[in-house]
Structure 1
Amino acid sequence: MAGALIIVTAFLTAFLSGILGMAGGLILMGALALLLPVSAAFVTHGILQLVANGWRAVVHREFVDWAILRNYAVASFVAAAVVSLIGFTPSRPLLFLLLGLVPMLVWLPRHWVRLDAARTPHALLSGFLVTSLNLTAGVAGPLLDIFFLRTALTRHQIVATKAATQVFSHLAKIIVFGAPLLGSDTAGMPPAWMFLIAIPVSMIGTMCGGWVLDRISDVNFKRWTAIVVTIIGGFYLAKAAQAWM
């Protein structure tokens, strides 16, 4: 039953991510946190999102900004090394709290933010901060978005470049949380067959989301991203409050 739910959620995740770039990842992380131990949820999320983001980057490869990607990747590996040395794994209630707070970053007033991923120092900062948050909250899409608010990129370039950068963040998640699970009989990971089905399903979801992305405007793209992730964040804050009551 849990495997089937993960497969369905993987499709919805890829579909929404193909349109909005991050909402799907929030849904998937929360669903996995409900069904699996936290470390296993991080690794499973990392594997599925690595494939989904990697495939989305391939589908939209002509729009990827490679300069941003190179700088992001360097800082991402540094962040992974730091978090790995600390050895931090959040509890389930704390994870839901972080999942609820992260989406609220989309409402930061634009005049407060002077970041542009197209600038080398900002791309490096993005790689370090986004990957660090990804390794503590499981997702970091809204934080990544802050670095793209002032770029001159189109919606296709934003989705493609963000997808490519998240390949490195999710790879870091797999390595940092997956290494301690190797050889553990109580890892709590889903069965291999689930991944064999969920991975192609995610690819299909990504392609369906890309079809919708081609048919919406840049204005609607940004508006609906903020609305959807805020609703998801509110749900997770309620779950965190329920867990601590």
Structure 2
Amino acid sequence: MTPAEVRTRATGPTAGLAPGYTQANLIAVPGDWAYDMLLFAQRNPKPCPVLDVTDAGSPRTVLAAGADLRTDLPRYRVWVDGALTDEPADATPHWRDDLVAFLIGCSFTFESALRDAGVTPRHGRNVPMYVTDRECRPAGRLHGPLVVSLRMIPEDMVDTAVRVTALMPAVHGAPVHVGDPGGLGIADLDSPDFGDPPAGEPGDVPVFWACGVTPQAVLMASRPPFAITHAPGHMFVTDVRDAAYRLP
């Protein structure tokens, strides 16, 4: 499918859809929390690399002309005082005139670069994601733990995976951890906090990247009065080519 077709037709996780086009995480917060969110992203660029910030109330983004951030993701999450209250397929009834939307780079974007380099990133239909014991740097009223995504990588390709993704800092860049999940406080790889359990093969190594679901863990910890996010793995597919975010 083309990016426009994914935006209008997809109903589930977007990993592997519209290959070659950049995908993005969404978090929309009230205007009086927007500076805190921007500062949090600036202080935590690995999990929160910002690709675009909208005007207050606007559902439009320069990343896809004519797209609507209220309707063009497969599934959303609505948060009130840090609690998840709804997971609609259409966020229009919840959208407010004071919301400022942040589009944050997604690790699905670098999977095409990995494949071009001969690396097969193995995971389920929806990549597994874990809340770690690493705290992000606080910003204003926002604080919370780092969330990571996991891909099982053949041992002889780990160095290549690190090198390739390091050239894409706008979509999380190099891994934050390789190997023992206990180093991140993860007790059981088969029980991710979000997404599907990992799908590895003998000889694979667990490799962890900072994840754009981190702001959702921050919402739960910081409890702002209202927010809208994507449902984990249900991304906004842009019209921008992945190659635009690769360093030369």
Per the normalisation by structure 1, the TM-score is: 0.30
Q: Which has the higher contact order (CA 8 A, sep 6+)?
A: 1
Structure 1 or 2: more helix by fraction:
1
The answer to which structure has the higher strand fraction is 2
TM-score, with normalisation over the residues of structure 2?
0.29
